Amino acid sequence: MAEQVENGKVVLMHYALKTDDKVVESTFGGSPMAYLHGHGNLVPGLETALSGREVGARLEIRVEPAQGFGEKQGKGAMPVPRKEFPKKMKLQVGMPIEIKDSAGTPVKVWVTKVQGSQVWIDLDHPLAGKELTFDVEILGIRDPMPSELEHGHAHGPDGQHHH
51-74 confidence digits (pLDDT tens):
999 999 999 999 999 999 999 987
Biggest CA–CA distance in the chain, Å, is 59
Cβ pair 152, 83 in contact under 8 A: no
Rounded mean pLDDT of the chain? 91
Q: What is the pTM of this model?
A: 0.80
pLDDT at 1 over 70: no
pLDDT tens per residue, range 74-119:
788 899 999 988 888 889 998 999 888 889 898 889 999 999 899 9
CATH architecture of 78-122: Beta Barrel (2.40)
pLDDT band for 163, please (50, 70, 90 cuts).
very low
- What are the domain boundaries of the chain? 10-69+128-151, 78-122
pLDDT at 6 over 90: yes
CATH architecture of 10-69+128-151: Roll (3.10)
Whole-angstrom distance, CA of residue 161 vs CA of residue 97: 23
